[in-house]
Structure 1
């Protein structure tokens, strides 16, 4: 099980008033309130939303009154997956967040990319999801989803996100992406850099965006190459002391497939996530990532699900929600 105490990483640094500071985060024990938001469009995606709802209730103790579904077959217009409804329900999901709470966000639908405007994407593109009214109301970009569902969370509060959509590898903008060996795929900038990153992280936690940009300016000037600049910027501005986890259906450069189960359409990622935990409910994060990938590979799918986090994590601890 995840340790209950705060987890420190990176070198201690001298902060304001000569106090020693160190980046930290805290795992959630998932013993507090539980809420879930499942959004699905089209036949297969609606099936995914209903399947995830049932799974959360049967395997993780979520109560039906604390789970909201947004599907385009709903008779209630306030439960259609429009841009406004999705954003409002994201805010509902994390409202009054406390340590050891557990929130679950599942999106099954269309995903895409758009030009990155703030320099936090190594490939130059932000990831987006498409509400049913996106042609009129616009898409929802990953920076906005991060600001709503990650930024407000206190240390020790959990959100688990499942994205079953195309180009979803970094759809929640969590800066630490893990390989199947349980290792961070790129250098751990926040743990290795100096006071600039520490200052940016603490400014971000306080909501001091001006302080973030002032701190990051020096990092960007010293980084070489746009990819390294993006990694530095993302780690400095998107690292969080909360316990935020995302499993996505594919890399940012890939698409996510549909499949048929018992003659019913379903997203391949949604199916693999549920199936993996039904087969073995007690898996580490690394084991779960491998299990999901094995199910998809054995089904003939080339997409590679991704595991990302808001902080450096021990992928050998057990997945809970």
Structure 2
């Protein structure tokens, strides 16, 4: 696959997903109970997103939940289980399928070693057993969940974690007026990180920011998960740019974090957001 910028070789094969096929989802919520920097709203976030998806055409058996209060060891969000679940999510994907990935937990940054990051830092997420098994880096998530998808398959990712702006390594970033702006992926990597598939990422903050673990209506929640769900509950019929603006408006009242929208291919943000 070419790594030079501006090749344009993928443009004619890209197609938007109609989201009319199989629907599958992976929801991960990690509170790190009893550990330093314990969180409180992440398991609630995963369950809230699960309920939201069930109301929007996803079936219970097609939603995999990984939370650190799970009694089944296979459903605890360890590094191995998370990576296995990511492979499960994209396995057997076809055009016009709709896949949904949600992560609520700790995020961070480490030094970039392959030169694909404009700011010099890779973004990472922290499994429950990160002290023993380490973190999961954005390059690996992109390889597993983005690069393997066929044309016309949708993956919608929702990250409620610190430093998550480019955590899926998607090359196209959008401002609230809907226009594409400077990429977080370096020029020589843009073509490699682009795909024929229809991949969208909503993240809770810029790479340089943190995401709030907070309380809304007396319940522990991640600010981004709360804003995303509530915006679409109030108005299910929104374009990409309208949803980005509305989520930012909800959070701006109380938080400094600025949610980000990115994609694996240039999209028309005036189109209705579907999943």
In structure 1, how many angstroms separate the alpha carbons of the residues matched to 2:106 and 2:114? 23
Counterpart of 2:153 in structure 1 is 157
Q: Which runs of 5+ in 1 are unaligned?
A: 1-9, 14-20, 188-226
Residue number among 261, 270, 273 corresponding to 1:316 in the alignment: 270
Within-5 A mapping of 1:213-232: 231-232=186-187
Superposed CA deviations along residues 120-179 of structure 1, whole A, max 9, x for unmatched, are 100000000000100110100000000000011010000000000000000000000000
Shift of 1:263: 1.7
Superposed CA deviations along residues 184-210 of structure 1, whole A, max 9, x for unmatched, are 1127xxxxxxxxxxxxxxxxxxxxxxx
Q: TM-score, normalised by structure 1?
A: 0.79
Shift of 1:264: 1.3
Counterpart of 2:230 in structure 1 is 275
Q: Which runs of 5+ in 2 are unaligned?
A: 1-5, 32-39
After the TM superposition, which segments of 4 or more aligned residues of structure 1 sit over 3 Å from their partners? 10-13, 21-24
Question: Per the alignment, in what secondary structure is the counterpart of residue 25 of structure 1?
Answer: coil
Shift of 1:236: 1.9
Within-5 A mapping of 1:20-31: 23-31=12-20
In structure 2, how many angstroms separate the alpha carbons of the residues matched to 1:69 and 1:261? 22
Counterpart of 1:197 in structure 2 is none
Counterpart of 1:243 in structure 2 is 198
Larger helix proportion, structure 1 or 2?
Answer: 1
In structure 2, how many angstroms separate the alpha carbons of the residues matched to 1:267 and 1:149? 23
Shift of 1:99: 0.1
Counterpart of 1:55 in structure 2 is 52
Question: Per the alignment, in what secondary structure is the counterpart of residue 302 of structure 1?
Answer: coil
Question: Per the alignment, in what secondary structure is the counterpart of residue 38 of structure 1?
Answer: strand
Counterpart of 2:166 in structure 1 is 170
Q: Contact 2:172–2:262 at 8 Å: present in 1 too? A: yes
Shift of 1:246: 0.1
Number of equivalent positions: 262
Question: Per the alignment, in what secondary structure is the counterpart of residue 17 of structure 2?
Answer: coil
Residue number among 288, 297, 303 corresponding to 2:257 in the alignment: 303
Q: Compute the RMSD of aligned alpha carbons.
A: 1.6
